A and B are shown apart, each in its own frame.
Chain A
Amino acid sequence: MKAFQIINDDGVSEAIGFIIIFGLVMTGIALITLYGYPMLLQQQSNADVRNMEQTMVVLQNDIKSLCYKSVPYKETSLQVAGGVLTMENATATGKRFNISVIKNDGTINTTELFSPGAFVYTADSQDATLALENGAVIRAQAGGSSMIAEPRWYIDTNNGEKTFVINLVALNASTEMSRNGMGTVRMKLNNSTVSSLNLPKETVAVSYTSTGEFSRAWENYLTGTLKMNKSGDNTYTLGGVDRLIVKKYEVQVLGI
Chain B
Amino acid sequence: MEKLDNEAQWIVLMGFMVAVAFFFLALVINQSTLVGQTTAEGVLEFPKEEIRDFTAEVATLVDSGDVYAADGTMDEEIRNDIVRLEEVRNNAIVDYSVEKTELSGKTYNKTVFHFNNGVTVYDATVYY
By a beta-carbon cutoff of 8 Å, the part of chain A in contact with chain B is 2, 5, 7, 54, 57-58, 61, 67-68, 70, 152-154, 156, 158-159, 163, 165, 167, 194, 196, 245, 247
Contacts and interface: CB of A to CB of B under 8 A. Distances in A.
Nearest to B97: A159
Nearest to B119: A152
Contacts of B121: 156
Nearest to A149: B41
A158 B116 contact: yes
A154 B116 contact: yes
B88 A158 contact: no
B1 A5 contact: yes
A57 B87 CA distance: 25
A70 B87 contact: no
30 contacts: A2-B1, A5-B1, A7-B1, A54-B37, A57-B37, A58-B37, A61-B41, A61-B44, A67-B91, A68-B90, A68-B91, A68-B117, A70-B89, A152-B118, A152-B119, A153-B118, A154-B116, A156-B121, A158-B114, A158-B116, A159-B95, A159-B114, A165-B93, A167-B91, A167-B118, A194-B87, A196-B84, A196-B87, A245-B87, A247-B91
Interface residues of B, number: 20
Contacts of B103: none
A158 B95 contact: yes
Given A61-B44, A153-B118, 9 more contacts: A67-B91, A68-B91, A152-B118, A156-B93, A156-B121, A158-B114, A194-B87, A194-B88, A245-B93
A54 B33 contact: yes
B73 to A, nearest CB: 16
Contacts of A152: 91, 118-119
Contacts of B91: 67-68, 152, 167, 247
Contacts of A68: 90-91, 117
B34 interface: yes
A54 B34 contact: yes
A158 B113 CA distance: 10
